Structures are given as structure tokens and as C-alpha cells.
């Protein structure tokens, strides 16, 4: 059975050249990059090359790149570091209601430790309430953290507008750009952020490797204490194979963005054209303010997780909400923040494409999903009749 993988917002298949770069790093560049001998030298060269490539991807200076274990660590470093560094008044953190758990749970832990956390609302299409953002950012804050595009709906958040407000008020600003590489250009100067987080496995790189961009001169406190790696900003021996692989993936993502976007937009339209024809189905999120490639739909009367399991028996892989919330079988906090009515909340699925997804994949996946929905509704007469 051929598998059709439409869960690229959860993780991406590593690119073949990434697998090769990881293999090469483990066979030839396995030294400790802090060692002064030849073995260390080879590992250090791999790390430095990747640092240059990652810097080029987001138009930063190589010295502004800190390698981490992924976006979760990067986000925790910024939020906790700035909260710890706040002197005098208790820290105040501003986030949005649709952030990834990495941000929401970190903010919750800081709140338990005495920080104030204010959450910017979104509307029913997942768009940020700018007036609410302005109101919350009119008071002093320790840090504001928002995502560039939402991992469940693909909806874009107005990062440059928020950056301008933060700059005016002197509030450090972090962008979670985890879902963006390869799908939109990333230039930190244009975004106007002080910090930006990435995770390699979301763009064809290996898991367990990520980036934290720290603007030169930005106030910063490290999360992990130990030996002074990464310019004393992150302790722990660098994950050289992961970093080397991420560098290769970043080089690929920096190229061909317009063509990739066009292809992803075509796939999005194709999937939605087919799936929205299914009775009592709706789209979640603003159709015209999304990063291309992510489709979030709800089927009334059935559970999204049941559709996922039924379709997976025919080799089609996607998720109900985000992979993280799906694992808990709860409703998505993103769709809840969008005031999605109960019957739509539980029937939500997310399909996310990549550059290698074909139109034939989209058609076949749509056919399987259509069959799965019909089957599940036929099992429950209430769902079939619309009274579920």
C-alpha cells in the first residue's frame, strides 16, 4: 500500500541530501566541535557552515544564530530567560490564544511562578484582534511572543505590525516562525523581531535540532547552564549531525520559494475543492490569509480522530488538529480560541502538504477521506441525518 503523507506540519520527511549530510557528519565529522585537534576541527567546520546557511535563510549575522534542540527549547529560552532577567517588577508576558503548546505551557509555568500572562484574542477565522493587541501592548511588558503562521490552520499573524508596536513601546519581541521556512521569505530585519525560533524537522531537516535567532544587542539570558557553547548562550555539546543536516535543509528552503508557494496553493485549492463538496463540511480559518499548504476542515457529526484512523487504514496520513493535541484526544485550543461551535470542534482534521506532494496524492487522499466520512456517518444514524 502506497502511503500518502499529508502531515507535514507535524514533521517532514528528511530530504535525501539531509540524510546524506547527517551520515557524513557521523562518519567524518564526529569530533567535538570545541576540541582544538583535527577531529574537532572537522566538526567545527560543519557547525560553522550550517551557521552561515541558517543566517542566510533569515538574513541574520552568523553570530546571531544559536543552535538549540528545537523550537520548544528556543521559545522556552526566550520567555523564561527574559522573565528571569526582569528586575524589580514581576514579569509580564504577552502571547496569543493560538500559540503552540511550547509557548502556552511555558507561559503557564511562568504564571505559576508569579508572572502575569496576557493573551491576545483571535476572531472566528483565527485572525489576530489587532485592537486587543494594541491595548495589551500599551502597558509595559517583559516580552511579546507570537507565531508567524499557525500550525493548525495556516492562518498568518500580523508579525510586522506587532513588531512595530513592540519597538515603539520598547518591548522585546519573539516570533515563532517554526512553520514558515520554504513557504515564505524570512528576513529578521524586515520582520523587526529581536528573537526568532525554528525547528529543523519542520523543513526537511532532522528532529532534535533547531535555531534561536538572538538580535545583536538584545537582552538575553541562557536557559541551559554548563560549558560556554554557542557564544555562552547555550550549554551542551552541539548536535553536529543534526546541525549539519539542518544546514543542508535550510539551503534548500532558501531557494524556489515562489514556485513552492504556488504548488502548495494549488494543492490547498484541490483538496478543499474536493472535500468541501462533502455534505456538512466546513473550512476552519481565513482562506485568504493563510500560508499555503495547510487545510483545516471539520466534518459535522463525527470525530476528526475517527476520520484520521479510518483513512490511515488506507495509507493516508494526516491529523486531527495538531499532532500534539490529537495525542490527547481533546479539542484543539486553536479552534476553541476561534469560538468554533462544539459540533465542528470535534470533527476537525488538518492536512498539510509539502513540495513533494502531487496533485494525484491530493485527489487520492480526498477520495479516501470522502469514503471514510461516509463510512463513519453510516455507522451512526444521528450523524448521517445531521442530528448528531
Catalytic residues: 324
**Per CB under 6 A, does 145 bind ligand PLP?**
no
Among 176, 230, 238, 361, binds ligand PLP (CB under 6 A): 176
Interface stretch with ligand PLP, choices 174-182, 234-242, 281-289, 305-313 (CB under 6 A): 174-182
- Beta strands 92-96 and 294-299 are unpaired
Cell numbers at 272, concatenated:
478543499
Which of 282, 328, 292, 286 has the alpha carbon at shortest distance from 122?
Answer: 286
Interface stretch with ligand PLP, choices 105-113, 172-180, 217-225, 259-267 (CB under 6 A): 172-180
Residue count at the site for ligand PLP (CB under 6 A)? 12
Interface stretch with ligand PLP, choices 29-37, 64-72, 78-86, 327-335 (CB under 6 A): 64-72
Site string for ligand PLP, 3-42 (x = CB under 6 A): ----------------------------------------
Sheet-wide strand order for 65-68: 65-68, 210-214, 195-199, 173-176, 143-147, 92-96, 116-120
Among 8, 12, 53, 72, binds ligand PLP (CB under 6 A): 72
State the distance between the two ends of the chain, measured CA to CA, in whole angstroms: 33
Residue (74 or 372) nearer to ligand PLP, CB: 74
Residue 85: burial class (beta carbons within 10 Å; 0-12, 13-18, 19+): middle
- Stretch 96-115 residues interacting with ligand PLP (CB under 6 A): 100, 102
CB of 156 to ligand PLP, least distance (A): 12
**Per CB under 6 A, does 354 bind ligand PLP?**
no
Q: Residue 119, SS3?
A: strand
Distance CA(305)–CA(188), nearest Å, equals 37
Distance CA(121)–CA(117), nearest Å, equals 13
Among 71, 117, 175, 334, binds ligand PLP (CB under 6 A): 71
Q: Calculate ∠ Cα 380-383-387, nearest 5°.
A: 125
Site string for ligand PLP, 284-313 (x = CB under 6 A): ------------------------------
Q: How far, rounded to the nearest angstrom, does the alpha carbon of residue 41 sit from its chain's CA centroid?
A: 33
Amino acid at each position: 500500500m502506497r502511503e500518502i503523507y499529508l502531515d507535514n506540519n507535524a514533521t517532514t520527511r528528511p530530504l535525501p541530501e539531509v540524510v546524506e549530510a547527517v551520515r557524513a557528519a557521523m562518519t567524518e565529522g564526529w569530533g567535538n566541535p570545541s576540541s582544538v585537534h583535527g577531529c574537532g576541527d572537522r566538526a567545527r567546520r560543519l557547525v560553522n557552515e550550517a551557521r552561515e546557511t541558517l543566517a542566510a535563510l533569515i538574513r541574520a549575522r552568523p553570530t546571531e544564530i544559536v543552535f538549540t534542540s528545537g523550537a520548544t527549547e528556543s521559545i522556552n529560552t526566550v520567555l523564561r530567560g527574559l522573565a528571569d532577567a526582569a528586575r524589580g517588577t514581576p514579569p509580564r508576558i504577552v502571547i496569543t490564544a493560538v500559540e503552540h503548546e511550547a509557548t502556552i505551557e511555558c507561559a503557564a509555568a511562568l504564571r505559576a511562578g508569579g508572572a502575569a500572562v496576557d493573551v491576545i484574542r483571535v476572531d472566528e477565522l483565527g485572525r489576530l484582534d489587532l485592537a486587543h493587541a494594541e491595548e495589551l501592548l500599551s502597558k509595559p511588558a517583559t516580552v511579546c511572543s507570537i507565531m508567524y503562521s499557525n500550525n493548525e490552520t495556516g492562518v498568518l499573524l500580523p508579525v510586522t505590525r506587532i513588531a512595530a508596536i513592540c519597538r515603539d513601546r520598547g518591548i522585546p519581541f519573539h516570533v515563532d516562525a517554526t512553520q514558515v521556512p520554504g513557504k515564505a521569505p524570512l528576513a529578521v530585519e524586515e520582520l523587526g523581531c529581536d528573537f526568532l525560533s525554528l525547528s529543523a524537522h519542520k523543513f526537511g531537516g532532522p528532529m532534535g535540532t533547531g535555531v534561536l535567532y538572538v538580535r545583536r544587542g538584545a537582552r538575553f539570558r541562557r536557559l541551559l547552564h554548563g560549558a560556554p557553547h554557542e557564544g555562552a548562550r547555550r550549554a551542551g555539546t552541539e548536535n553536529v549531525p543534526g546541525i549539519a543536516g539542518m544546514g543542508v535543509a535550510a539551503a534548500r528552503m532558501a531557494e524556489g520559494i515562489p514556485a513552492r508557494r504556488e504548488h502548495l496553493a494549488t494543492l490547498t485549492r484541490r483538496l478543499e475543492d474536493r472535500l468541501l463538496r462533502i455534505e456538512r463540511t466546513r473550512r476552519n480559518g481565513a482562506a485568504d490569509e493563510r500560508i499555503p499548504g495547510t487545510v483545516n476542515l471539520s466534518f459535522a457529526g463525527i470525530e476528526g480522530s475517527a476520520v484520521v484512523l479510518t483513512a490511515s487504514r488506507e495509507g493516508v496520513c494526516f491529523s486531527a488538529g495538531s499532532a500534539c493535541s490529537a495525542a490527547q484526544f481533546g479539542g484543539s485550543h486553536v479552534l476553541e480560541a476561534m469560538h468554533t461551535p462544539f459540533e465542528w470542534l470535534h470533527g476537525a482534521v488538518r492536512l498539510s502538504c509539502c513540495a513533494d506532494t502531487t496533485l494525484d496524492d491530493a485527489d487520492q487522499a480526498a477520495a479516501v477521506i470522502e469514503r471514510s466520512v461516509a463510512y463513519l456517518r453510516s455507522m451512526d444514524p444521528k450523524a448521517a441525518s445531521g442530528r448528531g
